[in-house]
Structure 1
Amino acid sequence: MARVGFIHDKLDIKFLILYIMSRVAAPIDMPTLADLTMCDEGVDYFDFAEAAAELVSTEHLLLEDERYSITEKGRKNGAICESSLPYSVRVKCDKNVTKLNSRLRRDAQVRSERIPRNDGTFTLRLALDDEHGNLLTVDMLAATEQQCDRLSEQFKAHPEQIYNGILDVLLTDYEEKE
């Protein structure tokens, strides 16, 4: 069966992968890379997986901790070849990468870390950054891993509200209210 789409062979898939990887804000896992690469109906998953593995073996991509990042060699060679990708494919990729980069940047700015204590409890470190640096870091005691997970999830889901709530409490003049 003939493929529909603009990407038809493994070399085109490699160019597409390098195009995508040169634009992502942070290393990404295989499923995310696959989703971004499947933006064209001509891309077959098995050809994609093979192309990604070959790009790692030729040192165009680096695979560490199950996450892909582009090497300088991949960035350089990808830039040379990116004009061979159809315009419509590049536009679709750019749109998808922009959405992903927003999420990756947010994930990098809102962090949590679980630190075990000797007594079996945990210190949960919550951090919120912006483009200029750290806005807030809070260390708190959590009795269980489940509590750490719940607190961490809430912090990641609502960092701005938590930051503003802390500011509100710290900036309230309680003597004036009494």
Structure 2
Amino acid sequence: MKLLILYFMCRVAAPVDFATVTGLTVCDDGIDYFDFAEALSELVDTGHLTLEDGLYAITEKGRANSAACESSLPFSVKRKCSAQLVKLNGILRRNAQVRAETHLRTDGGVALQLFLDDETGNLLTLEMFCGSQEQADRLARNFKAEPERIYNEVLSALLSSGEDGKDEREE
């Protein structure tokens, strides 16, 4: 059980919460939830995993022990793990590249920061004033749903000269 958890944790793109580790590990009827939860806790206690702010991450000790023992995992298990990880890692990478943060302002309202990154760094950062947390949450959800479209629209608006319907791209 511990080896399976370490195998997954070596391959996730970012720290994950308990529910995600559970979903990855308790993937068939042969794995008992309570055995899993105990094994996960022991891996944290022994320094193979860390638990910070509700997110689990693998340590160097965990990586070394996983690498030393992973050949004992059956190929069928590794194949099933890989299939699960492809989708999860895509989501984790996207979440790392498309972010939103809110901060209460001392003068009232909420400051909303929206970030769009790619593999090389930041593409877009927007900071906006919102009248309420609900408004900020709605704007953040909409940004996260279509960040590329919003980026392209901002870029188009900035490239447009606003005169006679022409823009700098046409000149």
Query: Do the two structures share a fold, i.e. TM-score over 0.5?
Result: yes
CA distance in structure 2 between the aligned counterparts of 1:118 and 1:111, rounded to whole angstroms? 23
Please list the CA deviations of residues 149-172 of structure 1 after superposition, one character each: whole Å capped at 9, or x if unmatched: 000000111101100111111122
Is the contact between residue 40 and residue 89 of structure 1 (CA under 8 Å) also seen in structure 2?
no
SS in 1 for 2:47: coil
CA contact (8 A) 1:126 1:138 kept: yes
1:89 aligns with 2:77: yes
Letter of the 2:141 counterpart: E
| Residue in 2 that maps onto 1:176 | 164
Q: Normalized against structure 1, the TM-score is what? A: 0.90
Residue deviations 1:76-114 (CA, integer Å, cap 9, x gap) = 001111111111111111111111111011001111111
**Counterpart contact for 1:155–1:162, Cα < 8 Å:** yes
1:22 counterpart SS class: helix
- In the alignment of these two chains, the number of paired residues is 166
CA positional deviation for 1:123: 1.3
Read off the aligned partner of 2:42 and give its amino acid letter.
Answer: E
Residue number in structure 2 paired with 1:67: 55
Name 2:23's counterpart in structure 1.
35
Q: Which residue of 1 aligns with 2:146?
A: 158
In structure 1, distance between residues paired with 2:74 and 2:28: 10
Q: Which runs of 5+ in 1 are unaligned?
A: 1-12
The one-letter code matched in structure 2 to 1:63 is L
SS at match of 2:164: helix
1:104 to 2:92 alignment? yes
2-side partners of 1:177 and 1:72: how far apart?
57
Q: Letter of the 1:124 partner, please give it.
A: L
Identical positions, percent = 58
Distance 2:122 2:48 in 1: 33
CA distance in 2, matches of 1:67, 1:175: 51
Indicate the RMSD between aligned Cα atoms, in angstroms: 1.2
What is the aligned partner in structure 2 of residue 128 from structure 1? 116
Could you tell me how far apart the structure 2 residues matched to 1:54 and 1:115 are? 36
Q: Aligned partners of 1:60, 1:177: CA distance in 2, in Å?
A: 60
CA–CA distance in 2 between the matches of 1:177 and 1:65?
50
Distance, in Å, in 1 between the alignment partners of 2:79 and 2:35 is: 22
1:25 is aligned, of 13, 22, 26, to: 13
SS at 1:63 equivalent: strand
User: Gaps (5+ residues) in structure 2?
Assistant: 167-171
Q: TM-score, normalised by structure 2?
A: 0.93
